Structure 1
Amino acid sequence: MSIKDGIIAELKHETNNTKRVLNNLNQDHWTWKPHEKSMSVGELASHIVELHSWVAGAADKDVFDFHVDYKPMGNYSLDELKTMLDENLQKNIDFVNSKDEAFWLQDWTLKAGDHVISQLPRIGAVRYIITNHLIHHRGQLTVYMRMLDLPLPGIYGPSADEK
């Protein structure tokens, strides 16, 4: 399996996992948040879908600077997010397929102004900065869902709601 095949397999798997979580949400809880400092359900779901766009949107740059390159996506409806998620997957697949194997081994830098947050090969950035980040936030969203007594889909195995 090539690097590109591995990235695409993971993108498809994680997109499907996010889609399954979104399918168990409803717009009625969109503004709910567990704490005043927390994101709302809608903000968190929007951020997760936004992270699914970062392979094509951020990995193409040699340096991604939060102060320059990051524009928060905003808060969208559940239906809009489901459409964006599918669109992001296709954009990511097209992007990955357009790059050769050497591209994924080149250094990529994440910074905030002059502060370097991370510097690693692009393949590591896709895994560490993008995929792990969205998995982290998707995990937060499933905690919100449990607090709201919404059924949880199994992500990496069956959930208590699927038994």
Structure 2
Amino acid sequence: MIHDIKEYVKYLDGVHKRTMQYLKTIPIELLDWKPSEDKFSTGDLLRHIASSRLMFLGIIEHGYWTYTGHDTSKGATIEDISGYLEECQFKLTEGLLKAGNDVLAKKVLTLHGHEVSAWRILMAIPEHEIHHRGQISTYLQINKIEPPQIFGLKIENVKATL
């Protein structure tokens, strides 16, 4: 359970910063790339992460789910997408800090209509982002681009112990 919204926001900011590291490795020609026609493109995934931050904030602040989409109007270039991600992260952070610790026990509905404590929804935010960041990592690797190491090392750099 989350007990302190300020500590949670600090953690969420770290997740966000690691996602932003991925933007630096994505070439412009990969923004529209997708593994198949029925899947999100790399740009779609990034815009979806950003828009979802506002979706999660909506249930916390207003008690209902809304999703504004992930089309190119949210950003067609790396720079625009980066700005949208930063804007949505700022709004999410600002909204959570304004809500304060009292929001953690507030009852809200899941997308399936089940009532849960808001802290459970907050736990879904980083899980959702990390899931999609993993997809972006796969997209990069399929296209022979090395994704960033989120903590600066590959497993091969860790000394083996017996």
Maintained 8 Å contact 1:15/1:52: no
2:51 counterpart SS class = helix
1:85 aligns with 2:80: no
2:37 and 2:71 mapped to 1: Cα distance? 18
CA contact (8 A) 2:56 2:121 kept: no
Q: Which residue of 1 aligns with 2:135?
A: 140
* TM-score scaled by length of structure 1: 0.81
Q: Counterparts in 2 of 1:121-136, with a 5 A limit?
A: 121-128=117-124, 130-136=125-131
2:146 maps to what in 1? Answer: 151
- Report whether the alignment pairs 1:30 with 2:31: yes
Q: Which moved more, 1:12-21 or 1:79-88?
A: 79-88
* Preserved contact between residue 61 and residue 108 of structure 1 (Cα < 8 Å): no
Counterparts in 2 of 1:55 and 1:6: CA distance versus 1, 3 Å:
farther
- Aligned partner of 1:63 in structure 2 is 64
- Offset of residue 148 of structure 1: 0.8
Q: Distance in 1 between matches of 2:53 and 2:148?
A: 19
How far apart in 2 are the matches of 1:31 and 1:90?
26
Kept in 2: contact 1:46–1:73 (CA 8 A): yes
1:139-159 superposed Cα distances (whole Å, 9 cap, x missing partner): 111100111111211125624
d(CA) in 1 for partners of 2:154, 2:51: 25
The TM-score, its normalising length taken from structure 2, stands at 0.81
Q: Which amino acid aligns with 1:138?
A: R
Matches within 5 A, 1:10-49: 10-49=11-50
> What is the letter of the counterpart of residue 124 of structure 1?
R
Deviation at 1:126, TM superposition (A): 1.2
Bigger mean CA deviation after superposition, 2-11 or 136-145: 2-11
- Number of aligned positions between the proteins: 154
- Give the Å deviation of 1:80: 0.8
Q: 1:100 aligns to what?
A: 100
- CA positional deviation for 1:47: 1.0
Name the SS for the 2:109 alignment partner: strand
Q: Which amino acid aligns with 1:100?
A: G
Question: What one-letter code is carried by the residue in structure 1 that aligns with 2:120?
Answer: G
Stretches of 4+ moved more than 3 A in 1? 52-58
The offset of 1:82, in angstroms, is: 0.8
- In structure 1, the residue corresponding to 2:23 is in which secondary structure? helix
Q: Which runs of 5+ in 1 are unaligned?
A: none
Q: Find the residue that maps to 1:63 and give its secondary structure.
A: coil
Amino acid in structure 2 at the alignment position of 1:106: K
Higher strand share: 1
